Structure 1
Amino acid sequence: MNSTTSPAGEGSRRGMLILIVSMILLFCWYLISDRFTPYTSQARVQAFVVPVAAEVSGQIQKVYVRDNQQVASGDPLFELNPEAYDIALARARSDYESVLSSVKANGEGVAAAKAGYQATVAAYENAAKDAERQERLYREDPGTISVRRLEIAQATRETARSQMAAAAADVRRATEAAGLTGDDNSQLLSARAAVHKAELDRRNTRVLARSRGLVTDLRTDIGEFVGAGAPVMTLVAINDVWISADMTENNLGHVKAGDKVAILLDSMPGHVYTGEVRSIGYGVNTSSAQPAGALPTVDNNRDWLRQAQRFPVKIAFTQDDHPPVQSLRVGGQADVMVYASDSGILNFFGRIYIRLMSLFSYFY
């Protein structure tokens, strides 16, 4: 008895075959694209976040900015009451003038001590010559001069020698007290450094932006006393914004610096931006250190498949397709796809996929 296949059964088998082949093709495409056009939704907008604080303490006198205001390098942010630092600067300058006068006086003292020493040297030389003459006359003819006169001449010579030694000691003391001469004098250097420190503190009462950025988290107002180093606002450096994408290890096999990247920002749905890989992280911290005397903590993995380790990949926007600064928020989420090969087919399907994701981003 011959059995015939009905058209409905033949169509069912054909549909099942098409479904199986499609699933196999999709699975192969997933494996290949995961290596050559890797995609991740674990990406966030990053930038340098700088806490802004004064280097000196004082009461806030003026606030020049408001939240979400863009500032350029050198723009004033806030200012402290400078009165106390004006007084300190005036005192430092007065001390410097006093030290300068003291150094000059010490220099004159050294000159006077040296002049006194030269006078004692001359007196000693005269006394020595007179004593030698008296001694020579006494040796040649003891009756020429009296012994008393000879002893007086010898005593005068010894007194002159002692006075010369004392004058030399005075010169040494005056020189040590005066220190080095000119700009190398230690007292003068210390006083000048105090003036520079007072001038620096006075300038630091006016806090300026160190780079171009966006002011956020403003937490102060006029009249508040702030301590040195206490942040009062945050400056987001918008001149250098990048994407930090966490990709699995098997995604990174063909990824290298300079590869083109498609970027989808949650804050800008429907638009795909272009960028390039800046760098690839070469290490992550996988364990927390245990304190001494504690037992190690073991994490039990009950999954059938081990979770893949992820590494950070830094991605920079291209200059000709940079999103508006107002649309970028540090910590904002993003989707990225890296074109790690020159395969036109894979890149074509990758562009279709990221474009579809950009449309879906309107709904989530």
Structure 2
Amino acid sequence: MFKRLFITSSFVIIALAAIGWKYQQYIINPWTRDGLVRAQIVQITPRVTGPIISLNIKDNSEVKAGQVLFVVDSRPYKIAVEKAKGNLDQTKAQLQRAQDEATRERELIQRQPGAISEMTLVQQKISVTLAQAGVEAAQAAYDQSKLDLSFTKVTAPVDGYITNLNLNIGSQVVANQPVVALIDKHSFWVEGFFKETDIKDVASGDKATVTLMAYGDQPLKGLVESIGYGISHKNGSTGLSLLPNVSPTFQWIRLAQRIPVQIHLDHIPDGIQFRIGSSASIVIHKKQKNQSLIKMVKEMI
């Protein structure tokens, strides 16, 4: 009887100790289930306008930096290059003619001083300057036309994943208007939203454990990279008739705000695929409080 009571009491004590330890860890180390996977998103934006004549990607496909995503009809831009080249050649010929005339007039003045009026010399100098400016402008237009021609091939700036593709051959794209999203595969991080009361001692560099909902049996190690310095608030924003919005609140209820904390992952194992918006749980292991706890335990011992 005594032995059975002893065993039962031991299990109860162990269970209470485990519950107390878990509760202590919960108090010391902030924890949240409100975590999201995030990444840098590059908006693929063509620099020229025209129909797509070649499409080399599919929705949700992986691409490499420098890979051609699609090609815009280049024929109008090739014509623009030829036209700009002809205009450049013409302005160069005009400059050469103005320089030749200026040279002849200088030689004539050396042979016959006073043969040409001062006004004529000034006008000839102005003509050369204007011709030089015309060549520079034509050269700039020619370079721009070649640049526009190169923009007809739209390439991937980074390694990543194409998503939400709604293009097809023949689709008309407009210059400087985004057409598809490219997720940078090397920029994934996890962002957790912690209660403001839980992160007062959290600092950059603190260790963190991240558990993705899709991979609950594979916790990931990371570090606190940064803590947000501000969040949006509806109270005070402009509402109807330019009056401020003020949400009704109960005086006896005061909820802690959620502050974003950015977690950088040390290593992503093979087989884990990150997707923006995926859910995650995060535990932050605060250095200061953990060290204080260890010190207190040592003093008790």
Q: Tell me which interval the TM-score lies in, with the shorter structure as reference length.
A: 0.7 to 0.9
Distance (Å, rounded) in 2 between the aligned partners of 1:247 and 1:178: 70
| SS in structure 1 at match of 2:188 | strand
- Counterpart of 1:200, as a letter, is L
Distance (Å, rounded) in 2 between the aligned partners of 1:269 and 1:215: 26
Which position in structure 2 is the counterpart of 1:155? none
Between structure 1 and structure 2, the one with the greater Rg is 1
Distance (Å, rounded) in 1 between the aligned partners of 2:64 and 2:206: 32
Distance (Å, rounded) in 2 between the aligned partners of 1:297 and 1:180: 61
Distance (Å, rounded) in 2 between the aligned partners of 1:324 and 1:232: 31
Distance (Å, rounded) in 2 between the aligned partners of 1:256 and 1:51: 32
- Counterpart of 1:265, as a letter, is L
Instruction: Tell me whether 1:170 sits opposite 2:120 in the alignment.
Output: yes
Identify which of 250, 253, 258 aligns with 1:310: 258
Q: Is the 8 A contact 2:161 2:183 kept in 1?
A: yes
Q: Is the 8 A contact 1:261 1:277 kept in 2?
A: yes
Alpha carbons of 1:323 and 1:216: their partners in 2 closer, same or farther (altered >3 Å)? Answer: farther
| SS in structure 2 at match of 1:289 | coil
| SS in structure 2 at match of 1:314 | strand
Which position in structure 2 is the counterpart of 1:232? 179
Distance (Å, rounded) in 1 between the aligned partners of 2:102 and 2:241: 68
TM-score by length of 2: 0.84
Q: Note the C-alpha offset of 1:72.
A: 1.4
Identify which of 153, 158, 170 aligns with 1:211: 158
Instruction: Tell me whether 1:278 sits opposite 2:197 in the alignment.
Output: no
Instruction: Tell me whether 1:75 sits opposite 2:78 in the alignment.
Output: no
Q: Is the 8 A contact 2:190 2:263 kept in 1?
A: yes
- Counterpart of 1:253, as a letter, is K
| SS in structure 1 at match of 2:39 | strand
Identify which of 80, 90, 107 aligns with 1:88: 80
Q: Note the C-alpha offset of 1:208.
A: 0.4
Q: Is the 8 A contact 1:82 1:202 kept in 2?
A: yes
Which position in structure 2 is the counterpart of 1:62? 54
| SS in structure 2 at match of 1:283 | coil
Q: Is the 8 A contact 1:275 1:315 kept in 2?
A: yes
Identify which of 191, 195, 198 aligns with 1:251: 198
Runs of at least 5 residues in structure 1 that lack an aligned partner in the other structure:
1-10, 125-162, 348-364
Which position in structure 2 is the counterpart of 1:104? 96
Distance (Å, rounded) in 2 between the aligned partners of 1:327 and 1:314: 19
Instruction: Tell me whether 1:330 sits opposite 2:280 in the alignment.
Output: no
Distance (Å, rounded) in 2 between the aligned partners of 1:247 and 1:39: 7
Q: Note the C-alpha offset of 1:51.
A: 1.6
Q: Is the 8 A contact 2:215 2:272 kept in 1?
A: no
Runs of 4+ in 1 over 4 A off after TM superposition: 323-326, 344-347
Which deviations, in whole Å up to 9, do the C-alpha atoms of 1:257-316 show, x marking residues without a partner?
111111111122322111111111122222352169533232222273310011110001
Counterparts of 1:1-364 in structure 2 under 5 Å? 26=20, 30=23, 32-121=24-113, 164=116, 166=117, 168-179=118-129, 185-287=132-234, 289-290=237-238, 294-302=242-250, 304-319=252-267, 322-324=268-270, 327-341=273-287, 343=290
Which deviations, in whole Å up to 9, do the C-alpha atoms of 1:17-69 show, x marking residues without a partner?
x89x959x75x964x54553100011100001122121100110101111122
| SS in structure 1 at match of 2:215 | coil
Q: Is the 8 A contact 2:239 2:245 kept in 1?
A: no
Q: Is the 8 A contact 1:247 1:313 kept in 2?
A: yes
- Counterpart of 2:122, as a letter, is R
| SS in structure 2 at match of 1:179 | helix
Distance (Å, rounded) in 2 between the aligned partners of 1:346 and 1:76: 56
Which position in structure 2 is the counterpart of 1:135? none
What is the root-mean-square deviation of aligned Cα atoms in Å? 2.9
| SS in structure 2 at match of 1:113 | helix
Alpha carbons of 1:56 and 1:38: their partners in 2 closer, same or farther (altered >3 Å)? Answer: same
TM-score by length of 1: 0.70
Q: Is the 8 A contact 2:222 2:263 kept in 1?
A: yes
- Counterpart of 1:333, as a letter, is S
Q: Note the C-alpha offset of 1:340.
A: 0.8
Distance (Å, rounded) in 2 between the aligned partners of 1:281 and 1:294: 29
| SS in structure 2 at match of 1:116 | helix
Which position in structure 2 is the counterpart of 1:139? none
Higher helix residue share: 1
Distance (Å, rounded) in 2 between the aligned partners of 1:324 and 1:230: 36
